[in-house]
Structure formats: C-alpha cells, structure tokens
Structure 1
Amino acid sequence: MTTSPDDLAAKRFAVLQLARLSGAVLVLLAVVLIAGKAPAWAAGLPPEAGYTLAAIGLIEFYALPRFLARRWRSPRE
C-alpha cells in the first residue's frame, strides 16, 4: 500500500505541530516547577528540575521541528 505525497505531508505536518505542542507544555511545566506551585505528582521535584525542563522544552519547541523539516526536505534536482 502506497501513501500519496499529500498524505505524507499531512502526517509530517502533524508530527511537527505535536513536537511544538509538547515543547510548549514542557516549558509551562517548568515555569510551574520554578514557581514552586508543582502539582501533587511532581511535588518532590526541586525547582532546579524546572530549569532543565525549560531548556529541553525550548530545544524541542524551536530546534526539533527545524531539524525534522530539514531531514524530510526533498532533494534538489
């Protein structure tokens, strides 16, 4: 079974948007941890863990979609 180029493009676009969304969620969780308002399931984490999550979330939000788009780019003829 072959997939059309439009289906492949739609799937790749969805993956790029999910990468951005998960990066934004990580940054929001990091802000909550840094502020000391952690939910019950994350109450044991120190605020310093928030800085690490913020860095990972920013990389995931900005760099991962660009990396994936560059990797999926069609070769020039």
Structure 2
Amino acid sequence: MNERNPAPDPAKARWMAIQMVRWTGLGAFILGLLIYAGKIDLPEEAGWVLMAVGLLDALFMPSVLARMWKTPL
C-alpha cells in the first residue's frame, strides 16, 4: 500500500484475538464466581462450569492459539 493506508498487519489481529480470549475467559470466570456466591440466581453447578471454562480460556487458550498461528520453520 502507501504511507497513508498501510497494509493490515496479521500479527496485530492475532494479538487482539488472543487478548479477547483472555478477557472473555476472565469475564466467564467472574460470572461463574458471582453465580457460585449466590449474587446471580442460577444453579451453583452453572457457576462451577463457567469458572472452569473461564479459567481454561484465560490460561490455556492463548497458548493454543499462539502455537496454532506460529510461523513454520
């Protein structure tokens, strides 16, 4: 492209996707914690499931995505 309209950077888009996965996982974990604490009227089991899924999303999925998008040697 030119100086005013640079080509989109795929690395930036991937970085943003990884950050969104992290924040979404954290949000799911907090929502599950609120359900477990009784602040939201849903079954306690739903809170446990959301906490587990949120924890996995926040801690492990960014690594999985980074490996999937890693440039082959």
- TM-score (norm: length of structure 2): 0.86
Structure 2 match to 1:12: 14
Deviation (angstroms), 1:48: 1.4
Structure with greater helix share of residues: 1
- 1:66 matched residue in structure 2: 63
Which structure's relative contact order is higher, taking Cα pairs within 8 Å and 6+ residues apart?
Answer: 1
Fraction of identical pairs, as percent? 37
Runs of 5+ unmatched residues, structure 2 = 1-5
Q: Which residues of structure 1 form unaligned runs of 5+? A: none
CA distance in 1, matches of 2:43, 2:19: 30
- The runs of at least 4 aligned residues of structure 1 exceeding 6 Å deviation read none
SS of residue in 2 equivalent to 1:75: coil
Q: Deviations over 1:8-38 (max 9, x none)?
A: 0000000000000000000100110000001
Normalised by the size of structure 1, how large is the TM-score?
A: 0.82
- Aligned 1:1-77 pairs, distance under 5 A: 4=7, 7-38=9-40, 43=41, 45-76=42-73
The number of equivalent residue pairs is 68
Q: Could you tell me how far 1:66 is from its partner in structure 2?
A: 0.5
